[in-house]
Amino acid sequence: MSMNQPLVTVLMPVFNAEQFLEESITSILNQTYYNFEFLIINDGSTDKSLEIIQGFTDERIRLVCLEKNGGIIAALNLGLELAKGDYLARIDADDIALPERLEKQVDFLEKNIEVGCLGTDFLWHQEHDEKSWINYYDNENIRVAMLFECAVCHPTIMMRMSIVCQHSLRYPRDYPHAEDYAFWLEISKYTQIVNLPEKLVSYRRHPLQISKVKSEIQCQSIRKIQFKQLRSLGLKVSVSDLILNSILGGAFVPVLNLHFFMDRWKNKIIKANADKNLFHQFTLCKQLDQRFIDASLNKKDILSKMSLLRCIHWQIMSTFRYIMSFNKSAE
């Protein structure tokens, strides 16, 4: 395949990213996989970002310069429109792709046509821990996890452009700073989302990433996304329900009698899904139990520890009942 028709488009929006940009661009150009175009959208940068980009002479770079900063959502959507590749891979201007990232993602997607969106695990830049930061890898668990959190890391994603084009998918403007979360939910209606259990991106943490004001806007967007999902299950959702949902998503919020409220919220979700059948019920129940256990471990009061033991007992019994009912239906 010639460079006029690359198999992969790597999309990198850039806005005032001079501090880390050269290292990020180099990580893409040094990939073991070669057949890609590198679409860099300079979103009205006022620092030395443009100068840094123009310092590279690799023919795979396709630079698009915008005179004024239009924001990340506009830049991402422009990238979707301009991409030439069958696959689109994302990378941010401050993150680093490990050398085999593109090769491994292309190989997986070529062999698994049912998967349209593929993320990977990642590591924190310059932190050599062995912890897995992605908790869910298969499509069913990722779909359930999206009720509580964004279960894929945006700069690790590679997606099929055929699905994006067929369904006219775009990053929505209604959810600033959580537009990727909303986008994955939309794409999940048409294809499977999977995470590779390999750390293929080095994700950088630094003070310039998101301001306190933007962080608050992001939280509002996340609540809107989760409210919409919970409503699709037919649930009447209160503010306290959203707080409980955020705790199941990993947030630490001090709540008295957490065991009582969590049990009640968990059972509401399970019952609603039994009626709507939007998620695989056993996967939902099992993940809810694990999330409840994790939330209880974050608490220090004895009641939460007691509820943790009750939850483990319930998990064992519910698994047993599910297996028994499955065996009966198979007879």
What tens digit of pLDDT does each residue of 18-69 get?
A: 999 999 999 999 999 999 999 999 999 999 999 999 999 999 999 999 999 9
Query: Alpha-carbon distance 127 to 316, whole Å?
Result: 36
Query: Is residue 303 scored above 50 in pLDDT?
Result: no
Could you tell me whether strands 8-14 and 192-203 are parallel, antiparallel, or unpaired per DSSP bridges?
A: unpaired
**Are 42 and 79 in contact, with CB atoms under 8 Å apart?**
no
The tally of CA atoms less than 13 A away on the side-chain side of residue 277 is 0
Query: Alpha-carbon distance 178 to 322, whole Å?
Result: 36
Query: Is residue 307 scored above 60 in pLDDT?
Result: no
Q: Using DSSP, state whether 301 is helix, strand or coil.
A: coil
Query: Is residue 312 scored above 60 in pLDDT?
Result: no
Can you give the pLDDT at residue 269? 97
DSSP 120: E
Q: What is the pLDDT of residues 171-221, one digit of tens each?
A: 999 999 999 999 999 999 999 999 999 999 998 876 655 645 688 899 899
Can you give the pLDDT at residue 253? 66
Largest CA distance in the chain: 70
Identify the top-confidence range among 21-30, 217-226, 301-310: 21-30
Q: Which of 31, 124, 49, 47 is nearest to 93 (CA)?
A: 49
Structure tokens at 233: 């299950």
Query: Is residue 300 scored above 60 in pLDDT?
Result: no
Q: Can you say how many angstroms the Cα of residue 135 is from the centroid of all Cα atoms in its chain?
A: 11
Please name the CATH architecture into which domain 8-203 falls. Alpha-Beta Complex (3.90)
**Are 262 and 292 in contact, with CB atoms under 8 Å apart?**
yes
**Are 200 and 132 in contact, with CB atoms under 8 Å apart?**
no
Summarize the confidence of residues 246-259 as an average pLDDT.
75
Structure tokens at 272: 């609603």
Query: Is residue 242 scored above 50 in pLDDT?
Result: yes
**Are 75 and 13 in contact, with CB atoms under 8 Å apart?**
yes
Query: Alpha-carbon distance 23 to 147, whole Å?
Result: 35
Q: Can you say how many angstroms the Cα of residue 147 is from the centroid of all Cα atoms in its chain?
A: 12
List Cβ neighbours of 254 (8 Å cut-off, separation of 6 or more): none
pTM of the prediction? 0.86
Domain-wise residue ranges, the chain: 8-203, 233-330
Query: Alpha-carbon distance 187 to 285, whole Å?
Result: 24
